[in-house]
């Protein structure tokens, strides 16, 4: 067991550079008001429009240095001029990342969207995705993310098989509309809002559809979307092996899809996930895996909530980079179960906060981003300036 707290120089040059270039994409909806199914809470100073959400994303990036992209959600982030929104983001050192479609808040989609038995409604849902692709062109977004609330509540309500067929047809039309440099990422979720069956309930179903579509279709793994006890790092390893892990939606999962701060429920799980990433070199910016957050902050302040999330992911990553891969491989070859496990747990148990503080200072950032942000006075400023903000999101 290592007794010392490592410093930046204890990392290999490659590991240092991976930490220096790591990026995490923030969801615009994390900055708006949100709540539970029982109530949407209001927070003073929340953004009044997508421009102000981007201003807040830029704050997280200013202090952490690792969040230079924002995911948008349509129609929550609908604006008249997407090129102007893109320019506004770029002025602040932020780019537009993934465009998220929304086919779950319209009366028409009560019985499904891309799977709906009614051709008119299915057409409407496909057209919404075509509109999202136009928005991708205007904003320079590289990826369209699809999460569907589609499913049924009662056995017999609709044909499971026919819904899969309609889903495949709908996705094929959407995929065909993408440009060559755009990709589609399909998210799965085991239940909710549908309770009997969900049309994309698991990584296998998402993968089957992605394989049918083509190389630019990949799976999104939302860490909150699994049954208790699921070995998520196994899914990560498998999708990486197949080259089909498109993105993460990071968040926690205490009992179900809570959208709370990543690493809050189980930092060891987050470490195990990042270990699978690091082990196969999938952390590099050109690896094709987009590390996104999918979170809402109902009780805590939103910008600090996102800062904490970004640093939690950074900490898990730094620990994964500290795993002594050579010693681990040796112990595994020798069949030394406890030695292998020790090497693994030793990295997890290491305090990497000083190392990350050093990293930030080497990049001209404050060593403690949370403290620096709280001291900046930004929260007081937005509380005074932004009166009446509600920033469309879950509460809209």
Binding site for ligand AOS (CB under 6 A): 29, 73, 100, 147, 187, 189, 222, 249, 257, 294
Task: State which of residues 49, 257, 306, 315 lies at the interface with Zn ion (CB under 5 A).
Answer: 257
**List 222, 233, 276, 306, residue binding Zn ion (CB under 5 A):** 222
φ, ψ of residue 334 in degrees (nearest 5): -80, -5
Tell whether residue 202 is a contact of Zn ion (CB under 5 A): no
DSSP string spanning 239-251? HHHTT-EEEEEE-
Instruction: Pick out residues in 36-95 that bind Zn ion (CB under 5 A).
Output: none
Of all residues in the shown chain, the one whose CB is closest to Zn ion is 249
Helix (H, G, I), strand (E, B) or coil at 48: coil
Ramachandran angles phi, psi of 391, nearest 5°: 35, 95
Q: Which long-range contacts (CB under 8 A, 24 or more apart) does 116-120 make?
A: 116/150, 116/166, 117/158, 117/162, 117/163, 117/166
Name the minimum Å distance from CB 220 to Zn ion.
Answer: 7
User: What backbone phi and psi angles, to 5 degrees, belong to 186?
Assistant: -115, 120
Mapped onto helix, strand or coil, the DSSP state of residue 160 is: helix
- Contact, 393 vs 33, CB < 8 A? yes
Q: Is 294 in the site for Zn ion (CB under 5 A)?
A: yes
CA distance linking residue 367 with residue 345, whole number of Å: 26
- State which residue has the least CB distance to ligand AOS: 147
To the nearest whole angstrom, how small is the minimum distance from the Cβ of residue 372 to ligand AOS? 29
**For 145, which DSSP code?**
E
Q: Which is nearer to Zn ion, 45 or 305 (CB)?
A: 305
Q: Which residue number, 82 or 394, has a Cβ lying nearer to ligand AOS?
A: 394
Report the alpha-carbon distance of residue 260 to residue 293 in Å, rounded. 10
Q: In terms of CB distance, is 269 or 350 closer to ligand AOS?
A: 269
Shortest distance in whole angstroms from residue 205 CB to ligand AOS: 15
Nearer to ligand AOS, 25 or 187 (CB): 187
Residue 247 or 366 having the CB closest to ligand AOS? 247
CB of 235 to Zn ion, least distance (A): 15
**What does the binding site for Zn ion look like in residue numbers (CB under 5 A)?**
222, 249, 257, 294
């Amino acid at each position: 067991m290592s007794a010392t707290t490592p410093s930046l120089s204890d990392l290999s040059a490659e590991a240092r550079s991976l930490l220096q270039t790591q990026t995490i994409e923030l969801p615009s909806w994390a900055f708006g008001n949100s709540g539970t199914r029982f109530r949407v809470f209001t927070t003073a100073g929340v953004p009044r429009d997508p421009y102000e959400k981007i201003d807040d994303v830029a704050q997280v990036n200013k202090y952490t240095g690792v969040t230079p992209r924002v995911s948008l959600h349509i129609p929550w982030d609908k604006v008249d001029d997407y090129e102007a929104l893109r320019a506004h983001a770029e002025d602040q050192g932020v780019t537009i990342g993934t465009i998220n479609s929304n086919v779950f808040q319209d009366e028409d989609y009560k019985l499904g969207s891309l799977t709906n038995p009614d051709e008119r409604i299915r057409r409407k849902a496909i057209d919404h995705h075509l509109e999202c692709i136009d928005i991708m062109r205007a904003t320079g977004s590289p990826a369209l993310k699809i999460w569907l609330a589609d499913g049924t509540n009662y056995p017999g309500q609709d044909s499971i098989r026919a819904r899969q067929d309609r889903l495949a047809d709908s996705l094929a039309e959407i995929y065909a509309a993408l440009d060559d440099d755009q990709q589609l990422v399909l998210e799965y979720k085991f239940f909710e809002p549908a309770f009997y069956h969900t049309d994309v309930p698991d990584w296998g179903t998402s993968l089957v559809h992605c394989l049918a579509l083509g190389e630019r279709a990949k799976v999104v793994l939302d860490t909150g979307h699994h049954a208790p006890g699921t070995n998520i790092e196994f899914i990560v390893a498998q999708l990486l092996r197949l080259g089909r892990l498109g993105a993460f939606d990071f968040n926690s999962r205490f009992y179900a899809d809570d959208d709370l701060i990543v690493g809050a429920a189980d930092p060891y799980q987050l470490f195990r996930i990042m270990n699978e990433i690091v082990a196969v070199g999938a952390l590099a910016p050109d690896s094709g895996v987009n590390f996104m957050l999918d979170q809402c902050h109902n009780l805590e302040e939103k910008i600090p909530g996102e800062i904490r999330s970004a640093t939690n992911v950074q900490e898990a990553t730094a620990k994964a980079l500290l795993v002594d891969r050579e010693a681990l491989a040796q112990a595994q070859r020798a069949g030394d179960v406890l030695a292998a496990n020790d090497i693994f747990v030793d990295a997890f148990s290491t305090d990497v906060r000083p190392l990350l503080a050093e990293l930030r200072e080497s990049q001209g950032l404050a060593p403690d981003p949370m403290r620096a942000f709280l001291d900046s006075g930004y929260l007081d400023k937005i509380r005074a300036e932004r009166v009446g903000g509600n920033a469309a999101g879950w509460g809209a």
